[in-house]
């Protein structure tokens, strides 16, 4: 199993190209099931979850081809996927596939919408809380599907097609909103969605569905209206840049010091996180290339944050910000409101010498003058990269184990960091 070795104490200087957003790429790939025509997706990140989802889509009969990097392109150029679901050969998604990545459960919506039936295993994925699928099931029932749960599988049928309806989410849910958009696009009649997720990745999926012929109003707003159409057609769409990757590298620069341009990053998608990073002592500048982040060696200031649905502080950046706060000059408070078990990185950060106390959904962080490198173990995707951020500023060597979590969501992380002066390398096949 691969490991990543990091020697801390080196400022970051240069530029990092931000990849396409994994959290948009995955539902966009799933949306290919809605049409028999080819869906072309550009700016697909080279991450493990994409490869895993291609296997799952292949199981359903989706043919695909991949355009790789061409001569003269930058080293981190992402890929273009061509997906064709002309013939769906299986409307069942077995446990051994779905258990590997919970986002694959979302195939249930386009399968029911287009084929009238689906049988999908209850999902697995990161162990950061139960993250139940009850709201996704509610969506299908509101649109006229008959849903049964048996032997660990969700079976949904709508033999005469889905029917438009009113869907109100009791809490903001990204997965539920993706499900509702895909299902309602082919449902007969009008669908109203209230308290919808407003994340840029959700808007990106909606924009692509419109290119495919869907009729959606209110994109980017908490109220969405969809007029169902009889069929969708192929389209070409470029995935939005990854705001979580951009925020992660911004925090890495704030932690290690230096001056880095995050190319293609969209500042409007990161306002709450950039504000917190600025309060911590980094200088944020919007440029024609993206976002420039600088910290010239001045100390890190403590900042209290609370995660919230977009446009609030992203839960997917909470672990990274906690790593930054471990070296702040004072005490900070981090409140996690989205997932109940998303503090698993605390024990590993403590191995660096961090001082963190947990009180329910609040982490109290007392900054220390120095972190010390240590062997640490990744527990989930975002927790993994928080350990990398801590290691960049720690004295001595850190070995991050179980980096397959990192590979699920970060494209060529060690190359991007080492290109800016970090001492970081992958050790392949280490036990």
- CATH label of the domain that carries residue 375: 3.65.10.10
Coil vs helix vs strand at 286: strand
Nearest by Cα to 66 from 95, 46, 96, 89: 46
Q: Is 23 annotated as a binding residue?
A: yes
Active site residue 126: yes
- CA distances, 424 to each of 12, 394, 417 (Å): 12, 13, 7
Band of the pLDDT at 389, cuts 50, 70, 90?
very high
Average confidence score pLDDT of the chain: 93
Last-in-domain residue among 220, 238, 256: 238
Q: Is 408 annotated as a binding residue?
A: no
| Spatial distance between the Cα atoms of 312 and 336, rounded to a whole number of angstroms | 12
Q: Give pTM, 2 decimals.
A: 0.94
Q: Is 132 annotated as a binding residue?
A: yes
Q: Is 135 annotated as a binding residue?
A: yes
- Are residue 64 and residue 76 in the same domain, yes or no? yes
pLDDT at 405 over 80: yes
Partnered with residue 235 across adjacent β-strands are 39
| Spatial distance between the Cα atoms of 108 and 97, rounded to a whole number of angstroms | 13
- Are residue 186 and residue 296 in the same domain, yes or no? no
- Are residue 87 and residue 182 in the same domain, yes or no? yes
- Are residue 79 and residue 145 in the same domain, yes or no? yes
pLDDT confidence of residue 378: 86
| Count of structural domains within the chain | 2
Last-in-domain residue among 214, 238, 262: 238
- Are residue 106 and residue 7 in the same domain, yes or no? no
- Are residue 222 and residue 270 in the same domain, yes or no? no
Q: Is 296 annotated as a binding residue?
A: no
Domain limits at 153?
22-238
Task: State the average pLDDT over residues 32-46.
Answer: 97
pLDDT at 71 over 60: no
pLDDT confidence of residue 130: 47
Contact assessment for residue 45 and residue 405, using Cβ atoms and an 8 Å cutoff: no
Nearest by Cα to 156 from 181, 132, 122, 205: 122
Task: State the average pLDDT over residues 309-318.
Answer: 96
What is the distance, to the nearest Å, from the Cα of residue 302 to the centroid of all Cα atoms in its chain? 26
Q: For a pLDDT cut of 90, what percent of the chain falls above it?
A: 85
- Are residue 146 and residue 88 in the same domain, yes or no? yes
Contact assessment for residue 380 and residue 406, using Cβ atoms and an 8 Å cutoff: no
| Spatial distance between the Cα atoms of 389 and 251, rounded to a whole number of angstroms | 7
pLDDT at 414 over 60: yes
- Are residue 177 and residue 206 in the same domain, yes or no? yes
What is the tens place of the pLDDT at every residue in 142-176?
999 999 999 889 999 999 999 999 999 999 999 99
Band of the pLDDT at 392, cuts 50, 70, 90?
very high
- Are residue 13 and residue 28 in the same domain, yes or no? no
pLDDT at 77 over 70: no
Considering the candidates 126, 198, 208, 420, report the single residue annotated as catalytic. 126
Rg, C-alpha atoms of the chain: 22
Task: State the average pLDDT over residues 234-263.
Answer: 98
Per-residue b or e along 18-44, where b marks 16 or more CB atoms closer than 10 Å to that residue's CB: bbbbbbbbbbbbbbbbbbbbbbbbebb
Phi-psi region of 57 (alpha: psi -120 to 50; beta: other; left: phi over 0): alpha
pLDDT at 128 over 60: no
Both tokens of 402, joined, read 């179980």
- Are residue 54 and residue 165 in the same domain, yes or no? yes
- Are residue 227 and residue 254 in the same domain, yes or no? no
Coil vs helix vs strand at 242: coil
- Are residue 8 and residue 27 in the same domain, yes or no? no
Last-in-domain residue among 238, 263, 289: 238
Partnered with residue 163 across adjacent β-strands are 188
């Amino acid at each position: 199993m691969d490991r990543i070795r990091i020697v801390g104490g080196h400022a970051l200087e240069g530029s990092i190209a931000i990849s396409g957003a994994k959290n948009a790429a995955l539902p966009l790939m799933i949306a290919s099931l809605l049409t028999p025509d080819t869906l072309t997706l550009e700016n697909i990140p080279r991450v493990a979850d994409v490869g895993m989802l291609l296997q799952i889509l292949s199981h359903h009969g989706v043919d695909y081809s991949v355009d790789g990097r061409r001569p003269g392109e930058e080293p981190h150029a992402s890929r273009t996927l061509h997906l064709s679901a002309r013939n769906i050969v299986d409307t069942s998604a077995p446990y051994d596939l779905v258990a590997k990545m919970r986002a694959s459960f979302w195939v249930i919506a386009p399968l029911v919408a287009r084929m009238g039936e689906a049988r999908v295993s209850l999902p697995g994925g990161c162990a950061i809380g139960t993250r139940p699928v009850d709201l996704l099931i509610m969506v299908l029932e509101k649109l006229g599907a008959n849903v049964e749960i048996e032997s660990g599988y969700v079976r949904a049928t709508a033999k005469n097609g889905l029917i438009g309806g009113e869907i109100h989410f009791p809490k903001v849910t990204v997965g539920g909103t993706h499900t509702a958009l895909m299902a309602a696009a082919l449902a007969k009649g009008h669908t109203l969605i209230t308290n919808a997720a407003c994340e840029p990745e959700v808007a990106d999926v909606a924009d692509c569905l419109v290119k495919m012929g869907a009729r959606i109003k209110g994109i980017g707003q908490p109220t969405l209206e969809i007029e169902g159409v009889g069929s969708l057609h192929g389209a070409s769409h470029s995935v939005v840049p990854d705001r979580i990757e951009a925020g992660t590298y911004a925090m890495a620069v704030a932690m290690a010091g230096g001056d880095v341009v995050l190319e293609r990053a969209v500042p409007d998608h990161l306002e709450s996180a950039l504000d917190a990073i600025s309060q911590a002592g980094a200088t944020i500048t919007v440029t024609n290339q993206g976002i420039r982040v600088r910290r010239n060696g001045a100390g890190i200031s403590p900042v209290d944050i609370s995660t919230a649905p977009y446009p609030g502080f992203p839960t997917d950046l909470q672990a990274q910000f906690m790593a930054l706060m471990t070296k702040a000059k004072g005490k900070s408070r981090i409140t996690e409101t989205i997932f109940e078990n998303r503090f698993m990185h605390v024990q590993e950060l403590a191995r660096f010498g961090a001082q963190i106390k947990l009180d329910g959904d609040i982490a109290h962080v007392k900054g220390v003058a120095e972190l010390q490198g240590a062997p640490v173990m990744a527990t989930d995707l975002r927790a993994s990269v928080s350990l990398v951020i801590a290691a960049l500023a720690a004295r001595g060597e850190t070995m991050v184990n179980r980096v397959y979590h990192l590979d699920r969501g970060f494209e060529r992380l060690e190359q991007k960091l080492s290109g800016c002066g970090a001492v970081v390398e992958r050790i392949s096949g280490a036990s």
